[in-house]
């Protein structure tokens, strides 16, 4: 019998919408931790909400992970695991760890207000535990269906050593017994997630710090089901560039970044280290990022996500991309030599089309009056120089000797006439791509 990998992580999105940047970061860190350990990374589709879950979102989640090269080693869907949930739920009923309750939301809200008014914590008062069999029969005869709560053990404190937040301690007596199943029989998040983590042998759960209190309750569920819990790492949430939690963060998904020309390597490079003590670097190869990944490097302060920083990293990664990696996204005819020439001036791969237009033409240019004769002289000399070696050096050298111009006065009028722009790729590499005939025609205006 083969042993299980030492690390098994999972990414568990709900297919009720597209992945946003926070989801992507969670998926990435789970994937990196598994890959660093030579373990397994699983995708779990949390689609227990049949009304809101959509197959188109499931397909989009898979496509987004593929675009980011976050390959998963197995997939589970909660909607296909209801039999397992029923079996484990029956165990909890038998052991007295779940119980029926009947209060409506309005009743619970009124009780919370009363408790707050008395200076008490607004937690569930466990009134349902006092119901007799006759009470249950009467309520159900009245057509009131129960929801189910998990009964927390109020004995010892709930403690664990979080891989990011360090030692954690919760007093279960200050927590409400969580609802785990609705009156219509549908499941809430907490219990099915625990059952899945046990069944899939999950060793590490990496998620946002907004789940810390959920973890406290879930640790008792693991114990109630006779299983050792996984290790937990709760990451600080992302904030927007304005320094506070941003509603916009929820709309920044893989499709948004693709449309903006962001390379998946740029997203990985930024999110791999965002919130850590390590510098964010434009690393196109994920291997060193995986090697250095360590939860001990993460801080507890909110991690600031800045689209401007992402754009800068993207440009620096584009400057590293070889022709073969982008060839299928380039205009027809733009070859390796042209890519090498224009790549240092690009912010996105899509920007190559603009520079290809500069090379292919036509180029609009209205020379300054004082440059007219100079450009005519340039066109005449361009007809005589050797275009097989270094035409830019040959042309500018001949023009300098013929006109006495040098520096900006020599180079800028030529660049403007040849490209229609004041700046851009190195003219020594660009001019051979423009070619003799087009260059002469542009210089003559």
What backbone phi and psi angles, to 5 degrees, belong to 205? -115, 115
What six digits make up the tokens of 369? Answer: 């009056």
What six digits make up the tokens of 268? Answer: 């990985």
What six digits make up the tokens of 91? Answer: 């165990």
Dist. CA 151–CA 133, nearest whole Å: 18
What six digits make up the tokens of 433? Answer: 């791509």
What six digits make up the tokens of 28? Answer: 């990435």
Residue 181: beta bridge partners?
A: 148, 187
CA terminus-to-terminus distance, the chain: 79
Does 247 appear as a known binding residue? yes
Q: How far from chain centre, in Å, is Cα 387?
A: 48
Please report which helix (H) or strand (E) contains residue 168, including its range: strand 166-170
3-state SS assignment for residue 145:
coil
Strands 98-101 and 147-150: antiparallel
3-state SS assignment for residue 204:
strand
Other CB atoms closer than 10 Å to residue 184's CB: what's the count? 7
Residue 235: beta bridge partners?
A: 208
Residue 167: beta bridge partners?
A: 161
Binding residues: 247
Binding residues for ATP: 247
């Amino acid at each position: 019998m083969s042993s299980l990998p030492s690390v098994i992580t999972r990414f568990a999105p709900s297919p009720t919408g597209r992945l946003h940047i926070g989801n992507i970061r969670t998926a990435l860190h789970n994937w990196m931790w598994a890959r660093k350990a030579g373990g397994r990374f699983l995708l779990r589709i949390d689609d227990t909400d049949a009304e809101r879950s959509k197959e188109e979102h499931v397909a989009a989640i898979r496509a987004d992970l593929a675009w980011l090269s976050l390959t998963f080693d197995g997939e589970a869907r909660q909607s296909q695991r209801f039999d397992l949930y029923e079996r484990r739920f029956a165990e909890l009923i038998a052991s007295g760890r779940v119980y029926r309750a009947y209060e409506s939301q309005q009743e619970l809200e009124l009780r919370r207000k009363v408790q707050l008014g008395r200076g008490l914590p607004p937690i569930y008062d466990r009134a349902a535990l006092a119901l007799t069999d006759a009470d249950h029969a009467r309520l159900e005869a009245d057509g009131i269906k129960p929801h189910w709560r998990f009964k927390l053990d109020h004995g010892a404190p709930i403690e664990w050593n979080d891989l990011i937040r360090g030692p954690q301690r919760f007093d279960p007596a200050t927590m409400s017994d969580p609802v785990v199943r609705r009156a219509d029989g549908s499941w809430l998040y907490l219990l099915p997630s625990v059952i899945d983590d046990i069944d899939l042998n999950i060793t590490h759960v990496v998620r946002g710090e907004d789940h810390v209190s959920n973890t406290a309750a879930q640790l008792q569920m693991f114990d109630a089901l006779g299983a050792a819990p996984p290790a937990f790492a709760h990451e600080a949430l992302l904030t927007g560039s304005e320094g506070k939690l941003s509603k916009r963060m929820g709309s920044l998904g893989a499709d948004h970044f693709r449309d903006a020309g962001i390379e998946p390597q740029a997203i990985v490079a930024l999110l791999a280290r965002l919130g850590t003590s390590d510098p964010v670097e434009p690393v196109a190869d994920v291997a060193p990022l995986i090697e250095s990944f360590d939860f001990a490097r993460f801080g507890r302060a909110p991690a600031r996500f800045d689209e401007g920083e992402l754009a800068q990293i993207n440009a620096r990664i584009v400057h590293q991309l070889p022709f073969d990696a982008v060839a299928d996204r380039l205009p027809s005819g733009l070859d390796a030599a042209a890519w090498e020439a224009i790549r240092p001036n690009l912010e996105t791969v899509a920007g190559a089309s603009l520079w290809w237009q500069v090379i292919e033409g036509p180029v609009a240019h209205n020379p300054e009056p004082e440059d007219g004769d100079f450009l005519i002289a340039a066109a005449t000399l361009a007809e005589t120089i050797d275009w097989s070696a270094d035409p830019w050096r040959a042309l500018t050298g001949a023009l300098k000797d013929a006109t006495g111009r040098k520096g900006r006065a020599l180079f800028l009028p030529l660049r403007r006439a040849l490209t229609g722009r004041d700046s851009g790729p190195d003219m020594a590499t660009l001019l051979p791509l423009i070619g003799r005939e087009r260059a002469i025609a542009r210089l003559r205006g």
